[in-house]
Amino acid sequence: MANVVVVGSQWGDEGKGKIVDWLSEQADIIVRFQGGHNAGHTLVIDGVTYKLSLLPSGVVRGGKLSVIGNGVVVDPHALIKEIAQLKTQGVTVTPDNLRIAENATLILPLHQELDVLREGENSASRIGTTKRGIGPAYEDKVGRRAIRFMDLADLPALNHKIERLLLHHNALRRGSGLTEFKAKAIYDDLAKLAPQVLPYMDSVWSLLDGKRREGKRILFEGAQGALLDIDHGTYPYVTSSNTVAAQAATGSGMGPNAIDYVLGICKAYTTRVGEGPFPTDQMNNTIGKMLGERGREFGTVTGRPRRCGWFDAVLVRQTVRTSGIDGLALTKLDILDDLPEIKVCVGYRLDGREIDYLPAGERAQAAVEPIYETMAGWKEPTARARSWAQLPAQAVKYVRRVEELVGCPVALLSTSPEREDTILMKNPFES
């Protein structure tokens, strides 16, 4: 039985929610392995829209086990709120269909406050985060002072751990002229939350190892996109975790030999939320505005408008390599339907020379100029197509050129938010 990792191959918002939902029908277990409730997934099932931030996409499907791995940072308040919201839509989340790693790091209100402070309009450290405390929580994790899920099960030892955490955070607050946090208030909040979330706790690494040995199919679901990876992304305008496919192993407690196929999700154009370099950005012209309006490019979590631009084959080719992507799921082809011509970035110019990769340096990333190849548009509808035969010939040429430029085949083609509007070339679970 193949185990599949789904990752974003651009800056996130590529349509992973629909693809994961489409694949989850064949999976037994769906695992989130990094990120937090800053990553939004929108699912449209039988006309009902579900907006998920922290929970794996599999929770909306009956008979599936959803798992939040140790690589995720968990805001217990957001977790409880999201579970309650799903209940109003007829989806019941219980320990029978959701497990959370005992060694997952918790996001506390103090993390969110620090994130908001850093992202203030006059802050020199502003990088365009969602202000939900994700980065500060990961900082505490690697700083070895974090409160973890399992700590809620040992309340007598919790006060000491809170004091250790506040040695760091209260020093920051003093430096900013803010009132210090009180350990008792944090303790009381966590003690109140503990009975509501502890029933979901599990040794996820052991659970998944056992399921794998039973022959269960596991689907690993990433958040954000590979270009936001803390190591391989457009640093420092990145998230605070590894978003490439290898993190599926580390962030779930499974070895790398548990991964059989990596599916990369990418749009037929490019979008980005927040600050940072974006070589093909068209936000300030009619193309960017058209893509944003037709594609409804607003963040699932924040509602922020996304910057839109032409497809960047250089970037996707790079993420194909850094994530070991075996096949692509190309989404939103229909957004390009009315264009008379379409541009694709095939290389960059930097300081007077041509290069075929995105450099790692911040200055160089901001300075690269895209080299475009122009293709004829198809001026025919591709929306809701479910077979190659239903696609205009020029649209097929566009997809084939994308494959050639990025060095990776398209395994799935999505032609609308509805899960049924999907053209399958290669089933990742049958690799």
Beta strands (DSSP E) in 1-154 are: 4-8, 29-32, 41-45, 48-52, 65-68, 73-74, 98-101, 105-106
Query: For residue 134, what is the enclosing H or E element?
Result: helix 134-142
**What's the chain's length in residues?**
431
Single-letter code of the amino acid located at 160: H
Cα separation, 336 vs 329, whole angstroms:
16
Residues 158 and 192: beta-carbon distance below 8 Å? no
Residues forming the active site: 13, 41
47: left (phi over 0), alpha (psi -120 to 50) or beta: left
Cα separation, 249 vs 233, whole angstroms:
19
Tokens of 429: 């679970």
- In degrees to the nearest 10, what's the CA dihedral of 369, 372, 378, 384? -50
Residues 232 and 360: beta-carbon distance below 8 Å? no
